[in-house]
């Protein structure tokens, strides 16, 4: 585990049709308080909205040492991240997303924590880029608390992750067979391989939520559906499925906290209820597909 700062940090952004949002992220990267040298790689996963031309002629191109990588050969964010990593020149790889916005201390905090850990993740907040209504749909962890899997290993977020190149290469990068939850998978794989995953509370990212019910349902369903696949792959390492009693409590909570129940009963917002219901539906679907109970 390196004890010194990297000579060059590579910030990798997977992107698909992100013309409408990516400048917010690029501007935030240009305003980092990090004093070291870094490059920014936009890994274009086959965009059709003019993103390639936009990045190639971007006004922040020199400031950010910005370049574009064509990752259209295989669809999906995992491949886009891997392609960006393959083209990166830095020995420390940092991943963020095209539709989010990193805080000014973000890069410096990830690099500083990287002197103690093989990989590092940070927190997200949902107040900067979302309306109060949308932000209420998905609660997030307090900044000082890492993402946890009860009874198992912690995990980092792919939109807020720093990892030494040697570690990334050692575990084979992101699993391109996964459509979602590839960040959980790589976090677990690297820890099971003996590497460390740290948490940097000051490496804050403003996370952009899905702002309509249809998109929210699709995202939550996909997250839920990935659960049984992860359980299939990691149960031999101690990952446990949800027990029947907590599942019953979960279902009853969805029923009694539905937005249609009387107001005197504590209830979820419509968006929150849709998210948790879609997640449960995804778990059921994934369990059927994998022929394994993980709800």
Domain ranges of the chain: 9-206, 213-290
119-121 and 160-164 beta bridge pairing = antiparallel
- The contacts of residue 184 (CB under 8 Å, 6+ apart) are 149, 155, 230
pLDDT tens per residue across span 73-103: 999 999 999 999 999 999 999 999 999 999 9
- Residues forming a β-bridge with 197: 119
**Residue 139 pLDDT > 70, yes or no?**
yes
Helix 270-290 to helix 244-256 angle (10° resolution) is 150
CATH number of 9-206: 3.90.550.10
pLDDT tens per residue across span 21-78: 999 999 999 999 999 999 999 999 999 999 999 999 999 999 999 999 999 999 999 9
Cα–Cα distance, 117 to 123 (Å, whole number):
16
Give the CB-side neighbour count of residue 294, counting CA atoms within 13 A: 26
Residue 254, token pair as written in the block: 């969805």
pLDDT tens per residue across span 205-242: 999 999 999 999 999 999 999 999 999 999 999 998 76
Whole-model pTM over 0.85: yes
Cα–Cα distance, 27 to 80 (Å, whole number):
21
């Amino acid at each position: 585990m390196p004890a010194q700062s990297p000579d060059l940090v590579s910030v990798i952004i997977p992107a698909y049709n992100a013309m409408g949002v990516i400048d917010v992220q690029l501007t935030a990267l240009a305003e980092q308080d990090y004093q070291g040298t870094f490059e920014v790689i936009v890994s274009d996963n086959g965009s059709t909205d003019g993103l390639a031309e936009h990045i190639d002629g971007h006004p922040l191109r020199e400031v950010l040492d910005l370049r574009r990588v064509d990752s259209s050969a295989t669809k999906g964010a995992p491949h886009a991240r891997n392609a960006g990593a393959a083209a990166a020149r830095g020995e420390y790889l940092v991943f963020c997303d095209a539709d989010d916005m990193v805080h000014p201390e973000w890069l410096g905090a990830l690099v500083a924590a990287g002197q103690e850990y093989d990989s590092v993740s940070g927190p997200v907040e949902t107040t900067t880029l979302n309306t109060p209504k949308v932000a209420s749909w998905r609660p997030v962890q307090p900044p000082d608390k890492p993402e946890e899997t009860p009874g198992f290993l912690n995990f980092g977020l792919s939109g807020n992750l720093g990892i030494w190149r040697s570690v990334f290469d050692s575990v084979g990068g992101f699993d391109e067979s996964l459509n979602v939850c590839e960040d959980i998978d790589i976090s677990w794989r690297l820890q099971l391989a003996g590497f460390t995953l740290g948490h940097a509370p000051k490496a804050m990212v403003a996370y952009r939520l899905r702002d309509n019910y249809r998109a929210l349902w699709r995202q939550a369903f996909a997250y839920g559906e990935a659960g049984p696949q992860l359980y299939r792959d990691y149960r031999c390492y101690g990952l446990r499925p949800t027990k029947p009693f907590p599942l019953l409590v979960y279902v009853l909570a969805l029923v009694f906290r539905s937005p249609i129940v009387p107001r005197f009963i504590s209830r979820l917002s419509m968006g929150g209820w849709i998210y948790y219901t879609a997640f449960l539906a995804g778990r059921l679907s994934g369990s059927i597909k994998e022929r394994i109970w993980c709800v």
